Structure formats: C-alpha cells, structure tokens
Amino acid sequence: MPSSVTALGQARSSGPGMAPSACCCSPAALQRRLPILAWLPSYSLQWLKMDFVAGLSVGLTAIPQALAYAEVAGLPPQYGLYSAFMGCFVYFFLGTSRDVTLGPTAIMSLLVSFYTFHEPAYAVLLAFLSGCIQLAMGVLRLGFTSAAAVTIGFGQIKNLLGLQNIPRPFFLQVYHTFLRIAETRVGDAVLGLVCMLLLLVLKLMRDHVPPVHPEMPPGVRLSRGLVWAATTARNALVVSFAALVAYSFEVTGYQPFILTGETAEGLPPVRIPPFSVTTANGTISFTEMVQDMGAGLAVVPLMGLLESIAVAKAFASQNNYRIDANQELLAIGLTNMLGSLVSSYPVTGSFGRTAVNAQSGVCTPAGGLVTGVLVLLSLDYLTSLFYYIPKSALAAVIIMAVAPLFDTKIFRTLWRVKRLDLLPLCVTFLLCFWEVQYGILAGALVSLLMLLHSAARPETKVSEGPVLVLQPASGLSFPAMEALREEILSRALEVSPPRCLVLECTHVCSIDYTVVLGLGELLQDFQKQGVALAFVGLQVPVLRVLLSADLKGFQYFSTLEEAEKHLRQEPGTQPYNIREDSILDQKVALLKA
C-alpha cells in the first residue's frame, strides 16, 4: 500500500504545482484531468486484491444504506440504488483520492427531501442541474452537520417505533411522535432496537480487533479475518438478519413489522432528465420546476462539493497524499449529470463508506468498480428480496450512520479556542430544525458579518516611545481604512502636542485605491500639524502602488530603527524615495519588467 500512496501522491502533486505554461495536451496536463493515467501504468496484482476486498466491503455497506437513504429523501427505495453506482465508475477515471466513494449520503438525502417534495422527477432534475453547476465551478475553477444528524436521526424514530403518517417538519415530527407514542408497534420497536444494538456491538468489535499480520498462525489469521469481514459488512448482515426474521413471520401468516415493500426490479432505463412533469392538473414546465426548487439549486450543489471535498481532504491528510479540489469538483459534477440519466438524485462523498474503504486497505479508485458492479447486480437480481426488509431495520442503519455526525466536542473546543465562533454554529444548529436552508443561509450570513467586522475593525499593535509605532495585525482593505484613520488621529494628531508616527506595514500584502486615498489624506493631515508619518516594512507590491500614486510627503524606511532616528531628527538617516535610493530603483524596475 505505501507504493500506491506514492503513486497517487505524485499524481496529485503534479497537478496543482504544474507550471502555468504547460501545454494543455502535455502528459502532466492529461494526468491532471485524467488521474487514472497516473496510477494505472503501475497497477499490480497486490493492488487488485486489496481493491477487490475494499470494493466488496463498501458495496455491502452501500446497498443497505442506499435503501435507507432513499427513505430519508422521501423517494421509493430503488432510487437509492440508482444513485449508488454512477459515482463509482466516474470516480474511477476522474477521482484524485483513492479512499473517497461517491453516492447517496444522509445530509444530501435530507436536502433532497426538502427541495424535491418527494417527487422523483424533481429529484432527478435537481441532480442534473446540480451537476451542471458543480461542473461549471470545477471548469472555471458550519454547525450544519450536527443539526442534520439530529433531524435525520429523529426522523427515523417513527420507523423504529412503527408509527405512520407522522409529519416531516422537525418540530411537528417531535410533537406528533410523542403524542402518538402509545401507538408504538412492539414488533418494530423490538427489532429496531435489536438491530441498533447489533450494529453498535459490531462497530465496537471492528474498532478493537487487532489487524491481521502475515506472521500470525493460520488459525488466528482466519478467525480475525472472519471477524473483520463480519464487522465491516455489519450493515448488510444486520439488514439480512432482519429480513430473514420478517420472512419467517411472513411464512407463518403473521407479520408484526412494517416492510419496505415492492422495489422496482431491474436496471434503471437510460433517459434524459425530466424537464417537465405531467400531473392531473396539467403540465409543470421546466421554468416552474426550477422556481419550485428555489434555493435548493444553490444549497444542494454547494453542500455537495463542501461535503465531498472535506471528506477527501480529511483522508488525504490522514494517509499522506494530496488531492486536487478542482478535479474533485469535476468528478462530483459529472457524476450528478450522468447519474441523472439513470434516475439518480444528487450524491456526494460519503464519510462513512470512505472510512470503510480506507480501513479495508484500498489502494486506488479501482475499488469503486467492484462497489458499482455489486450495486448493479443487486438491482438486477436482489430487488425481490428487499421486499422483506423491515423499515425499522433500515431506520437502525440510518440512526447508527448519522450518530457520529453529532459532534459535541466542537462546542467545547470553540468555547476554549474562540467563543465568538460559537455564534454562527449555534445559529445554524438551531435554525436547521426549522428549515435546513434557513439554517445554512443564516449561519453563512452570521459568518459573513463576523468576517466583515474583522475586516473593518482590524486589530492594531501600538508601541509607545519617543516615536509612536502602530502596526496593523492584518491586511488593509477599504473597510479597514476608516478604523485605521480613527486610531491614528486619536493617538497622534488629536493629542497635545501632536506626535510623529511610524506605520509598520509588515503584515500588509496588498492595498486598493481607497486605501491609497486614505493614506494620502493622512499624510496631508500630518503635514498640517507639522509632524511626520513614516512607513516601515512595506512589501514590494504595496510599495510599488504607493510610489505610483506619487503621494506628497511619503517617506519609507527599510527598518524601524532608521525611521525612529530620522523622526527624532538624528543626522545621517534619510528616507528612501524612488529617485535617491538605487536599491529601491532596482526593485521597482524589476517589478515593472
């Protein structure tokens, strides 16, 4: 496996670090757009074995999860499977992470349920449009998950308890669930809790079973290998166990469980996405469908790319290789576009299945081919068996899958590190229980306001002495200029007597026209008061802009000591300007060249 990390890592590093002048048809450019060309020439039999095992493990996880996530999305179960295979094949060619698997996820399914009104046609069209948006973004180059985990998890309580006709809005769902708790079906509740317990036990076993080593005795290797296989495929095993129990009752003529029911058999037909829908009340046009989905056309593709790239970066960092974010975006966009041709709803990178992939020792994205084929085989041959899967078992799978998403540690960490960052987290967390889009938009708005406030009110470090020294702790932009002006006036010009000031600009890497105008006004104010304003630590791009502006009274020094000497009227120290300093002339000439 280390060799696979090296091969993929080299492929990754050749992408973002490629020289700008490289030809678009050069081998490096082709490897960047088709990462498969980086690792396929060195593909080995050992990699094939590892990829096959990993792909099989992920497939046995993906099939029951796909059926369960279709329930979260409010769609028939087959749509979960339709969404689970296209990403495997697209990512084989375009993916830059060996670990990531694309497919339906809990959060994406929740968003689909909000924006598509449980209508398959809307879900498929949303996948197509999301793919177009993501693909365009790739070509052109917040507290949400915790709230979504609670929303999704509680949304499955009704299936776990066998309750029916519960409203989908979160607060109504909570109210009606507790209101009708006496209607709980004992069979569903017992089976659901048993399935959750089995999943938890198998997960704990998976986390604590030592890895298999070649030097172990054959018997120990075999036993640990069996335990590893059983715990990795725990979702498939538990769902199969529940289906077997339900079938046993069906044979006796008594069924205590609510079953998944009929699942459409066979592979999905290949057809263009529905750009209009015919209903009993007439035809809904494409324009009307887009208007109905509204903010979903922005929220769904954005959340898809954020979730997938976050997963890819997490595992790339863990396994010591690099990914290309733009290429990942292309892969997600193309997956959703092509997936819409086979009735898929929007998909993204799955953290849970990616973890299974990584723990199974996957070496390349070829493991996804095995997963995709397994999903297709299940669609062709196993759909009749899905009839007997109890909904309470699928609810247990979903609850155990989303439980790790509720991260309580982040609250304690932010409280210790930066308490103000809890504000957008809490706003997003609380409003997501009302409507997911409101939570996302409100959290983004609060974060933006905090960012604008920090940009408009940058921290400044002040050193008192014979000469006042003021150092902005971050860059200067037009929102910050007024705050800087107020700070300088209050400390240097509005005191008696007025004081000279040195502006230490080490952290200023760029300035705009508004900042240049503001600094020019400050220089005039200092000249009127008969004191000097000097600049120190200017980076060359900033210095070039200020010199080009030809500001009257502009003085620049290379060190703080020189500036202080000059401002104290000590002899032998002259400010630098474009005519008197040959070194500065060379820098400016080099930049202009």
DSSP string, 63-83: HHHHHHHHHHHTS-THHHHHT
| pLDDT of amino acid 6 | 42
Which 3 state secondary structure label does DSSP give 348? strand
**Cα–Cα distance for residue pair 557/530, rounded to 1 Å:** 20
Distances (CA, A) of 288 to 73, 277, 292, 431: 21, 10, 6, 27
Structure tokens, 35: 């990462």
pTM of this structure: 0.71
What value does the CA radius of gyration of the chain take, rounded to a whole number of Å? 31
Average pLDDT over every residue of 555-569: 85
pLDDT tens readout for residues 23-78 = 556 777 788 889 999 999 999 999 999 999 999 999 999 999 999 999 999 999 99
**Cα–Cα distance for residue pair 524/522, rounded to 1 Å:** 5
Distances (CA, A) of 402 to 107, 110, 334, 405, 428: 9, 12, 26, 5, 18
Least confident residue range of 192-196, 270-274, 462-466? 462-466
pLDDT tens readout for residues 10-22 = 443 433 333 344 4
| pLDDT of amino acid 507 | 85
At residue 141, does pLDDT exceed 80? no
pLDDT tens readout for residues 204-239 = 988 887 777 777 788 887 888 888 888 888 999 999
| pLDDT of amino acid 582 | 40
Burial class of 553 by CB neighbour count within 10 A (0 to 12, 13 to 18, 19+): middle
| pLDDT of amino acid 422 | 86
**Cα–Cα distance for residue pair 217/591, rounded to 1 Å:** 68
**Cα–Cα distance for residue pair 274/196, rounded to 1 Å:** 38
**Cα–Cα distance for residue pair 240/234, rounded to 1 Å:** 10
Q: Which residues pair with 469 in a beta bridge?
A: 463, 502
Q: Is the model more confident about 428 or about 243?
A: 243
Other beta carbons less than 10 A from residue 164's beta carbon: 12
**DSSP annotation string for 266-320:** SPPPP----SSEEETTEEEPHHHHHHHHTTHHHHHHHHHHHHHHHHHHHHHHHTT
Q: Are 465 and 458 in contact (CB under 8 A)?
A: no
Element (H, E) at 501: strand 501-504
Split at pLDDT 50, 70, 90, the class of 412 is: confident
